[in-house]
């Protein structure tokens, strides 16, 4: 049975905490709730008295004179939640600055810059947020993909010594300006073109500043090196560079790797036993979300920014179509790929690739390629087994996160994780 949560930013945003009482009436009294304070202590029942935005009392209150009384019986009273994995860098957009879809879930701190996408102009990023005002706290990661693209564009090759030094300089700049660590998207271009050693070298820079390493691992399925090898690679990067590892949105994507959750966790736990700090985050759904091009178009096609050219190359198309077909099947078939956002064809939002191919009277592969060329829709991809999701969820080092972004209300048909990832039955477990 799901319990409701009251999240009032109590311990994160208010000015102080005093376990005293006072005869002056409280502005707000929260009574009858079960407090989970985020320290790791056991939950306990108590009332909370607030005056002038400061928690003045935690204990038993006579709330009759409070200006506002909030009954919290049967509810948890918790600090604001930290979302370790978001793509909410778009909070700098004034239409999104309040981050209402996060605040209404009780999230008061978001980690941005994930999957290799974070800017290295960190001071400028923070300055913009401070100037316009935002609804949550922000922790930012510098993105390997952003850094690599700045130095090498979309080149599918190893960096020269000069290029690796320039990348290290950009990472150092970002860390000096307040980044909390480095993120990678080794599944995506251009991150997928990097060898393990490249990331280790950048990780050493992060280590100097006490940062951590968050990775969308190279393969969550069997696209390239396979799920287990990709998890091992992330751990190797942390171990050799000396930084803690955060595995992003841990999952087993596609039938070919269903059932591998236990083996993945064994790899993580073996690393923890030898002293490597490894954590993970997870959204509590069996569907992922990404761009259609990222899901089905091979990375070699995207290299050097020539994807559109290659998708129109008659000589390359047979090979491309074969791999696109394999990638569609890898994710569970065309009926599991649902359009979530497509500004150029909003009437197709909510329809799956199979439905659209019937409308267009084309094969599923040809339809996918045409959609990518038309504007590249976002998709929701149903590709995980509930058993794997639940297995990862039960691990104490796996934290619930959204992998979402700040959304403009009533626009598109986004993944429900943007609104409801903390409205799940397991959410309470993340705080107590």
Distance of CA 323 to the CA centre of its chain: 27
CATH topology of domain 5-78: Urease, subunit C; domain 1 (2.30.40)
Q: Kindly tell me the number of DSSP H helices and DSSP E strands found in the chain.
A: 16, 17
The pTM of this model reads: 0.88
- Spatial distance between the Cα atoms of 424 and 54, rounded to a whole number of angstroms: 30
> What pairs with residue 69 in β-bridges?
29
Alpha-carbon distance of 372 to 364, in angstroms, equals 12
Residue with tokens 């010594």: 161
Q: Which fold has domain 81-286+385-431?
A: TIM Barrel (3.20.20)
Kind and range of the H or E run holding 323: helix 317-330
DSSP code at position 352: B
In the chain, domain spans: 5-78, 81-286+385-431, 290-381
Which pLDDT tens digit goes with each residue over 37-48? 888 899 999 999
Q: What is the pLDDT of residues 304-350, one digit of tens each?
A: 999 999 999 999 999 999 999 999 999 999 999 999 999 899 999 99
Residue 78: burial class (beta carbons within 10 Å; 0-12, 13-18, 19+): buried
Tokens standing for 63? 């709330």
pLDDT by position in tens, the chain (length 432): 333 444 444 444 343 444 444 468 899 999 999 999 888 899 999 999 999 989 999 999 888 879 999 999 988 898 889 999 999 999 999 999 999 999 988 899 999 999 999 999 999 999 999 999 999 999 999 999 999 999 999 999 999 999 999 999 999 999 999 999 999 999 999 999 999 999 999 999 999 999 999 999 999 999 999 999 999 999 999 999 999 999 999 999 999 999 999 999 999 999 999 999 999 999 999 999 999 999 999 999 999 999 999 999 999 999 999 999 999 999 999 999 999 999 899 999 999 999 999 999 999 999 999 999 998 899 999 999 999 999 999 999 999 999 999 998 777 778 889 888 875 333 332 222
């Amino acid at each position: 049975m799901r319990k409701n949560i009251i999240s009032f930013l109590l311990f994160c945003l208010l000015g102080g905490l005093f376990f005293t009482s006072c005869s002056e009436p409280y502005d707000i009294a929260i009574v009858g709730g079960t407090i989970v304070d985020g320290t790791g202590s056991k939950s306990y029942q108590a009332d909370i008295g607030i005056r002038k935005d400061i928690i003045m009392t935690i204990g038993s209150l006579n709330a009759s004179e409070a200006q506002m009384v909030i009954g919290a019986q049967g509810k948890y009273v918790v600090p604001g939640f930290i979302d370790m994995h978001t793509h909410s860098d778009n909070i700098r957009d004034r239409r999104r600055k309040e981050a209402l879809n996060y605040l209404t879930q009780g999230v008061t701190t978001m980690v941005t810059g994930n999957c290799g996408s974070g800017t290295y102009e960190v001071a400028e990023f923070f300055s913009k947020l401070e100037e316009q005002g935002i609804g949550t706290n922000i922790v930012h990661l510098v993105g390997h993909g952003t850094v690599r693209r700045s130095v090498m564009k979309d080149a599918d090759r190893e960096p020269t010594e000069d290029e690796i030094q320039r990348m290290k300089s950009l990472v150092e700049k970002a860390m000096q300006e307040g980044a909390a660590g480095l993120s990678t998207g080794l599944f995506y271009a251009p991150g997928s073109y990097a060898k393990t050693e490249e990331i280790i070298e950048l990780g050493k820079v992060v280590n100097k500043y006490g940062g951590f390493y968050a990775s969308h691992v190279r393969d969550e399925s069997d696209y390239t090196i396979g799920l287990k090898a990709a998890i091992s690679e992330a751990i190797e990067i942390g171990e050799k560079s000396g930084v803690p590892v955060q595995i992003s949105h841990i999952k087993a994507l596609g039938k070919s790797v269903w059932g591998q959750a236990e083996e993945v966790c064994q790899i993580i736990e073996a690393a923890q036993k030898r002293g490597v700090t490894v954590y993970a985050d997870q959204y509590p759904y069996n569907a992922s979300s990404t761009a259609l091009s990222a899901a089905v178009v091979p990375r070699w096609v995207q290299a050097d920014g020539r994807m559109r050219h290659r998708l129109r190359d008659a000589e390359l198309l047979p090979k491309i179509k074969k791999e696109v077909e394999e990638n569609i099947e890898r994710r569970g078939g065309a009926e599991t790929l649902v359009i979530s956002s497509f500004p150029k064809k909003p009437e197709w939002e909510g329809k799956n690739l199979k439905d659209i191919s019937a409308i267009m009277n084309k094969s599923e592969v040809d339809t996918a390629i045409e959609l990518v060329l038309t504007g590249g829709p976002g998709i929701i991809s149903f590709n995980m087994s509930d058993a794997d999701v639940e297995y990862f969820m039960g691990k104490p080092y796996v934290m619930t996160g959204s992998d979402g972004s700040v959304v403009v209300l009533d626009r598109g048909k986004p993944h429900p994780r943007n609104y409801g990832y903390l409205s799940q039955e397991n959410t309470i477990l993340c705080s107590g």
